[in-house]
Amino acid sequence: MYARVLRPLLFLLPPDVAHALGFAALAPIERFGPVRALVRAAVTPARDDRLVVRAMGLEFPNPVGLAAGFDKNARRPRALAALGFGHIEIGTVTAREQAANPKPNLFRLPADRGLVNRLGFPNDGAECVAARLRAARGSVSAPVGVSIGKSRVVPVDDLNAVIADYVASFDAVGDVADFVVVNVSSPNTAGLRAMQAREHARALLGNIAVRAASRSPPMPLLVKIAPDLADSELEELLAVIEETGLAGVEATNTTVMREGLATARGVIDAVGAGGLSGPPLRRRALEVVRRARARLGRKAVVVGVGGVEHAGHAMALVRAGADFVQMYTGFVYQGPSTAGRITRELAAMVEQEGARSIAELVGVEAPTSGSIRRGSRSDGQASSGVSRPND
């Protein structure tokens, strides 16, 4: 129904208006426990222990999470968890409240099933968002992470000020988040991606890591990285992640690249700058996940983000080395039942593979005959065994 009726109607509206309507529709689910229970029963599969992911001292009911950006201010975490997501990531939040970049700042590329945004971390401020999460804590049926970023007013060339700004956000959300993600890779805050350079990253991540480790229990800390890093830059950043003892990485954020799109060049030029998400990001996300797993080893957590629309896409990221995955753009295009559908399909795939759990398939090359071949890494491009539209 969503793809046939609701999405065409919503896509007649500007993206920000459609998002606001979707958010409004989630309000009764967020506010009323009986409504959440009905929605959960309607769209969420029963718990399947084969899909449970245990990582960072947390238990995720399934490996399909909602990426940061959809719920920037922790206004709908209970509703979104009721839709079947295995975790919810809030934000990105900043130490200081800030508005969005000037409109228009959000665009659809339907020919590529993609989105372009240049929102620039609009949020109510870390302390306000933390207060909302504190009020909801205990009634969200999945782990909640919080993504933190740099306040726009803090000059990127003042490293001490940048570190203090991130630390303020971390301190604000540290008591209410299940894990924290350091976003140094959005293309929509001027100069932010410079924080991925080795020396800057070491100073920033090292300082936050000390704060995270001092908590009881220690706060799991991830860093979200850009898909547009050169391989040598990526290896340097992964080395810093090893040095600073972070729990792992989210791979990847949105891309500034525009090559190989089905959308007409004139439309792309008219949209202009911003981060592109959705299927065009999928191949690079697989590559970065694979590199992260190879460099960081089995103890690190790797979250695959980029182009997940179907279970086959999620499984490709798992086989490349992801412990679990996140989606956002696929949720917009596929609708509110997406997480539950992907979870059911993943369960069928795990059963088809003869695996005891999806964790057994992390970093395992896709079989070509019917048996699982363990110990080798996937290229992420093999058949998933689930029918889906052409990529």
Q: Are strands 58-60 and 324-327 parallel, antiparallel or unpaired?
A: unpaired
In-domain check, residue 375: no
Residue 390 has pLDDT above 60, yes or no: no
In-domain check, residue 370: no
209: confidence class by pLDDT, cuts 50, 70, 90: very high
The whole-number pLDDT of residue 377 equals 34
pLDDT, mean over the chain: 93
In-domain check, residue 302: yes
In-domain check, residue 367: no
The whole-number pLDDT of residue 353 equals 94
In-domain check, residue 224: yes
b or e along 264-286 (b: 16 or more beta carbons within 10 Å of the residue's beta carbon)? Answer: eeeebeebeebbbbbbbbbbbbb
Mean pLDDT of 128-141: 96
Mean pLDDT of 110-115: 98
Domain with residue 150: its CATH number is: 3.20.20.70
The answer to whether the beta carbons of residues 240 and 201 sit under 8 Å apart is yes
Query: Domain total for the chain?
Result: 1
221: confidence class by pLDDT, cuts 50, 70, 90: very high
Query: Which domain covers residue 112, as residue numbers?
Result: 2-361
pLDDT tens per residue across span 15-74: 999 999 999 999 999 999 999 999 999 999 999 999 999 999 999 999 999 999 999 999
**Nearest-angstrom CA–CA distance, 309 and 202:** 34
The answer to whether the beta carbons of residues 137 and 176 sit under 8 Å apart is yes
Establish whether 186 is a catalytic residue: yes
Residue 83 has pLDDT above 50, yes or no: yes
The whole-number pLDDT of residue 379 equals 38
The pTM (predicted TM-score) of the whole model is: 0.92
In-domain check, residue 198: yes
Mean pLDDT of 211-227: 97
Which is catalytic among the residues 169, 185, 186, 277?
A: 186
For 6, phi then psi, to 5°, come to -70, -45
Residue 373 has pLDDT above 60, yes or no: no
